[in-house]
A and B are shown apart, each in its own frame.
Chain A
Amino acid sequence: MNFTVLTLAEQIILTLAALMLFTSFLLLAQTRLLTLIHIFALQGALLFATTLVIAFTYGRHHLLISAALTLGLKVFFIPIQMQKLVTRLDIKREVEVVGNPSLIMFGAAALVLFSYYAVLPIRELSMLATRNTIAVSLAIVLLGMLLIISRRKAVVQVVGFMCMENGLMFAAVAATQGMPMVVEMGVALDVLVAAILFGIFFFQIRTEFGTLDVDKLNLLKEVD
């Protein structure tokens, strides 16, 4: 099949997929916490746009609820909440220590390639024109994981976790036109609870250890 036979909506979906992948790369490259949270909100907005486009073009109106959830939670509630948290914890301007940035970026590119090859057999099962987005969403999940392991600050790890969730959601929306409503509600609730819990945990970790650096948590075990 040629790229030129796709409809405009499908082209827009593919473009949005590429942009979501790009925001994942931006998250990996970003060292400022506040900008990181803003990019995460942008990724949520892209997910919202994708859901909206699919809901209207394929007439899946239950996706509108999912889109509203995405908009409310991932574009506004969680980023604003995290921003408040970061301001209250006073780590706004903190510059993250990342291991060699270029190396991580190339690792990320390798992950994208890997997910492309991993998804090739699955792709054959779907008849949708947007089935190619499965590889992109797997890549977004893996990049979220890479974000978690390449950073030390707990806040960034939460962003990485949410980014993985974005990837899963994107796969569900773009490749199979949405999950059953119950599942989507459940996932949205999960994310919400996770965000609130993480917020509480940050304070606990902070008061207990005086830092949000997760490497310091290794010092928990009692020596001798």
Chain B
Amino acid sequence: MNVSGWILALGQTALLILLAPLLSGWIKWVKCKFQNRRGPIPWQPYRDLAKLFRKEVVMAQQASPLFRATPYLVFSVTVLASSIVPAFAVGLPTAVIADVIVMVGFFALARFFLCLAGMDLGTAFGGMGASREVTISSLTEPAMLLSIFTLAMTFTSTNLDAMVLHTLTQPFQIYPSFIFAGMSLLLVGVAECGRIPIDNPATHLELTMIHEAMILEYSGRHLALLEWASMLKMLIFGVLICNLFLPWGTALHLEPTAIAVGLLTLGIKLMGIGFVLAASESVLAKMRLFRTPELLSLAFIIALLGMLGHVILEVH
């Protein structure tokens, strides 16, 4: 049982890593359809990554070892974070190792090194992107933790696996606080993954980019790893939001049929969330950088409201 559990856990992590470019390609494809363009096929990101891996790495002479190490570090930390998230089954052995606060910590670690690498070469864009990234993350992290705490208060656990298991095994309940936690987590996810209205992933216009500005100096396999890590981060957020709020379909027992159903529902949920994201990105415009604190403080307020709602309405 335990060996097969570990194999499944490794398989789940590998699946998430392999699926990440597909989700990003799917979002891009749907977005193009919304905007009446033909759009690249959904598996285009795989080709891009393969091309980048084949290319040689060009690096500035002043680059420190930190600059060289960062892509590997960021990628491996994101992979570690992805192994905690229950994707298609609960009760996997990796899930009990770490809880959701560790996952937020992993993201913070990756961001820390990315910012350092952005400033490493001393170019204007790297520093600018790093400072913006830190500004935004300082606003998203409290909102994310607060919305997670709201969930944790209901489930009396901060373990993601236990949270999903709780919702699956208990009779159906409408928790008012979950609506707020979900909304807040959506806003935070959009900000963390650098999507519209906070950041535009498609642009390379100097003054508006955040994430792209930090990785501007990277090339070849380093760039591929960083791109892949950011796709994986988006997938993690997608899986997290799907499985925390709509966990139905996730496999409770490690049996072939249950796992097949889990995989199928996960695919459908991710396609759905990608569709919603693409639709919202087609309707919304990117926000001015100086207005993003307003949006993110709204996310924080919503999360706070969720917690207050839990205390006022759900605790008797």
Contact = CB atoms under 8 A, between A and B. Distances in A.
A18 B311 contact: no
Given A2-B316, A116-B311, A136-B312, A102 B297 contact: yes
Contacts of B173: 3-4, 11
A64 interface: no
Interface size of A as a range: 20 to 34
B309 A21 contact: yes
Given A17-B176, A101-B294, A102-B293, A135 B301 contact: no
Given A4-B171, A15-B176, A29-B298, A109 B305 contact: yes
Contacts of B171: 4
B305 A112 contact: yes
Given A2-B316, A25-B302, A109-B305, 18 more contacts: A3-B173, A3-B314, A3-B315, A12-B174, A14-B313, A15-B174, A18-B176, A19-B179, A21-B305, A25-B305, A102-B294, A105-B301, A108-B301, A109-B301, A112-B305, A113-B308, A132-B312, A132-B313
Interface in B268-316: 293-294, 297-298, 301-302, 304-305, 308-309, 311-316
Contact of A105 (B176, B179, B297, B313): B297
11 contacts: A1-B316, A3-B173, A4-B173, A11-B173, A14-B314, A17-B176, A18-B179, A18-B309, A109-B301, A109-B305, A116-B312
B180 interface: yes
Contacts of A17: 176, 313
A21 B310 CA distance: 13
Contact of B177 (A1, A4, A18): A18
B169 interface: no
A133 interface: yes
A22 interface: yes
Nearest 9 Cβ contacts at the A-B interface: A18-B176, A1-B316, A11-B174, A15-B176, A3-B314, A18-B309, A14-B313, A102-B297, A105-B301
A29 B299 CA distance: 12
Interface in B168-192: 170-171, 173-177, 179-180
Interface of B: 170-171, 173-177, 179-180, 293-294, 297-298, 301-302, 304-305, 308-309, 311-316
A221 B117 CA distance: 64
Contacts of B304: 109
Nearest to B172: A8
A18 B301 contact: no
A151 B314 CA distance: 33
A29 to B, nearest CB: 6
A133 B313 contact: yes
A108 B305 CA distance: 10
Given A18-B313, A25-B305, A109-B305, A4 B170 contact: yes
Interface string A99-140: 001100110110011001000000000000000110110000
Nearest to B293: A102
B258 to A, nearest CB: 25
Given A25-B301, A102-B293, A3 B308 contact: no
